[in-house]
Chains A and B, each alone.
Chain A
Amino acid sequence: MSRSRRTDASFLVAALVAITPFVLQLAGLSGGAVGEELRLYVGNLSKLLFLILAAFGAARSAASFESGNPMRSAWLILAVGLAGFAAGEGALVVYQAVLHLESPFPSVADLFFVPSYPLLLAGLVRAIRAYGESGYPIGSPRERALTGGATAVLAALVAYPTLRPIVAAPAPALEMFLNVAYPVLDLALLVPVVILLRIAVRFRGGEVWKVWAGLLVGFLLSCAADVLFAYFTSSGHESLDPLSDVLFILSYAALARGALGQYQLLR
């Protein structure tokens, strides 16, 4: 088995183990107090670990690209954004797993999560530009503009019905702002993600494809998880929150796999 396949298998097994307590809860097998503890620790720590691995993989990739290579700055910006996500998740771990408190919302974690989005957006846009400069047949700038435009329109169509109940629900101003900001930022992130997905699919079968498939699936799942979390919270369907946890864990595992994949490819 190649190193790449071993990495794929390790991430798949780790992600499946981490989501099991949440899937069992969704299936009605909550496991009582033990299940609750398990979800608290496995959920929090797996998310944090995957995000740290993602930030590490992105940072090592940035360091491994030679200076002057446009992908170096793309990965550096992505690394800072992913490190921000990891710091935000770290704050949640402290609240929930160390202090045994319900994590407040808004909290200090949001100070890390929110500024990470513009960085991730900038990193992905930089990567699109760099791939465009490669001289390889990745499609025309016009095709990329059309894909981005179509995605933005679709995102707006999804955002309107999703955000309406969130805005209508009574909530303090900052909470309302964040409940709207997360899905909006996620949907904004989808624009470069879909453009990159369209580029990356041309590399299917190769290691480059695995890198972007991991990152892009990660961002797509993270977007779905944020939108669902905001929707469940505002509509009183908290019993479905474990679904958000499952999506977040799978998302962060995919981000880590993608970023480490790029690092492995450079070594």
Chain B
Amino acid sequence: MGLAKTKDALDTIVGMLSPYLGETMARAAALAHCQKLGIVVEGTEITTDQIDALLRRFGQGLNIFIGREKSAAVVGEIHAAMARAVS
């Protein structure tokens, strides 16, 4: 399995979270989480560890909005979509 472009990975995450959070919040949250984790967005590839850390952060906050069960399901779907994208 290869590495995904960070920007493409974020687009996937934003696309899957937008129905719940709206595109503005999904994108703003993605960029904020990347900044906190020290992930550079432009012109880089994202590692599996970085994706895991990023989705863990997303999931923790998402619990507040849609509950732990739904949050875990959404994060699982994002993981699956990322795996499909890079395989």
Residues on A facing B (Cβ under 8 Å): 64-66, 69-71, 130-131, 133-137, 202-209, 265-267
Contact = CB atoms under 8 A, between A and B. Distances in A.
A202 B22 CA distance: 8
Interface of B: 18-26, 28-29, 32-33, 57, 60-61, 63-70
Query: Interface centre among B21, B26, B32, B64, by most A CB within 10 Å?
Result: B64
A205 B24 CA distance: 8
A190 B70 CA distance: 31
B26 to A, nearest CB: 8
Nearest to B64: A134
B25 A206 contact: yes
Contact of A206 (B22, B28, B61): B22
A69 B68 contact: yes
21 contacts: A66-B69, A69-B63, A130-B64, A131-B64, A134-B65, A136-B29, A137-B28, A202-B24, A203-B21, A203-B25, A205-B22, A206-B21, A208-B21, A208-B25, A208-B65, A265-B20, A265-B66, A265-B70, A266-B69, A266-B70, A267-B70
A208 B63 CA distance: 12
B73 to A, nearest CB: 11
A136 B19 CA distance: 16
Contact of B24 (A66, A71, A204): A204
Given A136-B25, A136-B32, A137-B32, A206 B64 contact: no
B64 A133 contact: yes
B20 to A, nearest CB: 5
A68 to B, nearest CB: 9
Contacts of B18: 205-206
Contacts of A134: 60-61, 64-65
A130 B69 CA distance: 17
